[in-house]
Structure 1
Amino acid sequence: MIQPPGLGSCSCLFISLSCLSSTSFAGRCGKMYLKYIVFFVFVTASLLLNAFMPSKIIDQIQMITVIGFDATEEERVQGTVASPKYQQEGQVEDFIYTDTADTVYEDWVKLNAKATERLLNGKIKVVFYNQKLAAEGISDFIGFLTRDPSIGGNVSLAVTEGSTLDVINSATTTKGRGIFFADLFEHNIRHGNLPQINLKIFESALDSGTQDPFLPMLSIEKERPALTAIAFFKGDQYVDKLPIEHADVFKMLYEKNVSDGEYQYKSEEYIAAVENIETTKDVVFETNGGSGTVTINVNIRGAVREFTGQLPTTQKEKIERDIKQDIEKKANRLVSRFQELEIDPLGIEDDIKSGNRTYNQKHFKSAYPDMPIRVNAEVKITGYGIMR
């Protein structure tokens, strides 16, 4: 008889007598024993599996948090990695390794030869591509990341103006460069003009065939890294950029919903800084005689937090009308630029595909550069702040 753990001999005898006295209870008693047998088999199997798993001692590895890829003049790849070492009093010192090779995997061998411990990818937060490499195409480098199961889909990607090594070195921080850059992107996504973007979203757009991806672009300003633009891709190749200060309209057109956004309107009469912006967006596709027209409707609500000039705040309708016209002008100019480049970072084709039974990809691709696409903005001012 198998003795269940935690039961004494008397308890075991009691269970045995009870089992003998009742046939129905004997069945339940047998199930109880089976449960303990399964438990012991599971624990034993787990211990055996763990015994044969390769061990990684924390003092014998270095976890990479930042990666940079640069195209060189010799058509080779320069790889740079940053790995943090935790010091006393909670401070972090980054060790930076860089080398050049013909392939990423060869470069990784060279980088590991320079490190005092094995370099692992499990803590990567940010990956940079310099502008030259991005213009040549980065699908192979995206594949390098997605084929590694230790790398998560929420890794941030970005393009750099100039060397990725210079951008990585320009970040001076005691919390580690990986955390620094990840916080920089997260802050601008939550409260700035950067739309939500990461490895998973970029790869999804790249593989979709109905949308072109984009990434944030960094450069060095006053010896510090700064988010300066949004880089647009045609397939996996960088083709154009939009200064980050003008990316507020792009974010409204790209995301279904925006919360806590900002917008500044300037004219000769007055300047209005609108904050706490909330937007919703929908795309309407209408066919007429075989051709199609697209209308992007954007509803915007926000509060004027700062106001300068002679225009009385009682003229609420004029402020709403002025901002509406300003947003529509910028948005339509931006869409025309996308059509000129034959790129679709807004995912207009994807919206049409999901909502139109007559969608034909070949027809859309050929019609897109000249397709009538109009942006309609509705603006609602919900309050006023400082006036001067």
Structure 2
Amino acid sequence: MNLKYIVAFGLVITSLLINVSMPSKVIDKINMITVSGYDKAEQNRIKETVVAPTYLEQGTVEDHVYTTSADTVYGNRVKLNSKASEQLLNGKLRVAFYSEELAKQGLKTPIEFLTRDTSIDSNLFLAITKVPAVELINTVKTKKGKGVYFEDLFEHNIIHGNLPDVSLKTFEDSLKGETSDPFLPMFGIEGETAKLESLAFFKDDRLVDTLPITQADVFKMLYENVGDGTYQYKSDDYNISVENMESTRKITAEKKNGSPEMTLDVRMTGVVREYTGEQVMDQKSKIETDIAQDFTEKANRIIKSFQELNIDPLKLEDFFKSKHRSYNQDQFKEDYSDMTIKVKADMRLTGTGTRR
């Protein structure tokens, strides 16, 4: 019996000695990057800026910002680590920014760095910056850390604003799938904060057009179902603000005379929060018709601009492919610019708010 205890004790001591001698990454000797930004640099190089926070006592955060330039993103990471006192790792990366100038050249190569790193979450947020990415990152001042701040900014605008659901995964899927084109949010600067300014649309991996975020409510409802949106309408007779907007999108596709014809049916409900006309309930039917017509006109303009640019961020080709065995990619792309794409909208007001 005593011999068994002696053997067990010996095994424990041996295990401890082995673990002590094995190389390992000591937590105190690494620093997790939360934000990265990429800009075009001179001589066709790429500039990378990263944020690595240190968590101090009483919940305070100190952000360390490092910037280098190199021929490749991988080359930048070697240089960045030479500046940091701890090893910089990507495991907590929350947001990656790319400058507008870089996005116009194409983002396939810079983004491959992220997709090849298995420690990076595929739900990582991506965005374009109207100013250099390094300027945006350095300008923002926040006590909760830049990584948390930017992540919260994305989530708030996705849940309650005009930003559709976007991530590294959705961007990569659009590039690989070849049946849709990606889009990303574009941020600028206002004071010491970041401001969501527009949606940036891509043809393959190159930025080709933008849509002001104030008009992106229509695109979002064409792109996906919305659970908590807003809508503003202005006419000669009245102004109205509708909140708690919920919408569902249904796409139908058929062939007429050998060519695809698509219809997007958007059904919306919402609550009046502000109204400048007469009693809203007396004008309810007219207001619903006005908003539905306004939505349809804006949607048609947006879709027409997509057709002129020959881009498909609404994933219409992807939908047609899933529904029609006769789908031919070359034929669909040839037909797309002149394709009949209809929008039907229905609006129902479910409550009234203030009147002034």
TM-score normalised per structure 2:
0.93
Pick from 106, 117, 124 the counterpart of residue 75 of structure 2.
Answer: 106
CA distance 1:365–1:168, shift in 2 (3 Å): same
How far the C-alpha of 1:206 sits from its partner, in A, is 1.3
8 Å contact from structure 1 (residues 305, 384) kept in 2: yes
8 Å contact from structure 2 (residues 202, 208) kept in 1: yes
**Does the alignment pair 1:199 with 2:199?**
no
Aligned residues: 349
Paired residue for 1:11? none
Secondary structure of 1:334's match? helix
CA distance 1:321–1:99, shift in 2 (3 Å): same
Secondary structure of 1:194's match? coil
- The one-letter code of the counterpart of 2:339 is M
1:163-178 matched pairs, under 5 angstroms: 163-178=132-147
Paired residue for 1:382? 350
How far the C-alpha of 1:103 sits from its partner, in A, is 0.8
- The one-letter code of the counterpart of 1:343 is I
CA distance 1:106–1:386, shift in 2 (3 Å): same
8 Å contact from structure 2 (residues 91, 120) kept in 1: yes
1:290-309 matched pairs, under 5 angstroms: 290-309=258-277
**Does the alignment pair 1:115 with 2:84?**
yes
- The one-letter code of the counterpart of 1:200 is K
- The one-letter code of the counterpart of 1:213 is P
Structure 1 stretches of at least 4 aligned residues deviating more than 6 Å after TM superposition: 46-53
How far the C-alpha of 1:88 sits from its partner, in A, is 2.3
Question: Separation in 1 of the partners of 2:312 and 2:16?
Answer: 52
TM-score normalised per structure 1:
0.86
Paired residue for 2:58? 89
Question: Separation in 1 of the partners of 2:179 and 2:345?
Answer: 25
Once the two structures are superposed, residues 310-346 of structure 1 have per-residue CA deviations (whole angstroms, 9 ceiling, x without a partner) of: 4653121100100000000000000000001100000
**Does the alignment pair 1:142 with 2:121?**
no
- The one-letter code of the counterpart of 2:210 is K
Pick from 276, 287, 290 the counterpart of residue 255 of structure 2.
Answer: 287
- Alignment gaps of 5+ in structure 2: 6-11
**Does the alignment pair 1:240 with 2:209?**
yes
Secondary structure of 1:150's match? coil
How far the C-alpha of 1:205 sits from its partner, in A, is 1.2
Pick from 40, 46, 51 the counterpart of residue 77 of structure 1.
Answer: 46
Paired residue for 1:61? 30
Once the two structures are superposed, residues 237-261 of structure 1 have per-residue CA deviations (whole angstroms, 9 ceiling, x without a partner) of: 1111111111000000001x21011
- Alignment gaps of 5+ in structure 1: 6-42
Pick from 278, 284, 292 the counterpart of residue 324 of structure 1.
Answer: 292
Once the two structures are superposed, residues 222-280 of structure 1 have per-residue CA deviations (whole angstroms, 9 ceiling, x without a partner) of: 3421111111111111111111111000000001x210111011111111111111111
Question: Separation in 1 of the partners of 2:22 and 2:311?
Answer: 47
- The one-letter code of the counterpart of 2:88 is L
Paired residue for 1:249? 218
Paired residue for 1:347? 315
8 Å contact from structure 1 (residues 269, 310) kept in 2: no
RMSD: 2.3
- The one-letter code of the counterpart of 1:323 is I
Once the two structures are superposed, residues 160-180 of structure 1 have per-residue CA deviations (whole angstroms, 9 ceiling, x without a partner) of: 012101100111011110000
How far the C-alpha of 1:294 sits from its partner, in A, is 1.0
Larger radius of gyration: 1
8 Å contact from structure 2 (residues 260, 332) kept in 1: no
8 Å contact from structure 1 (residues 72, 78) kept in 2: yes
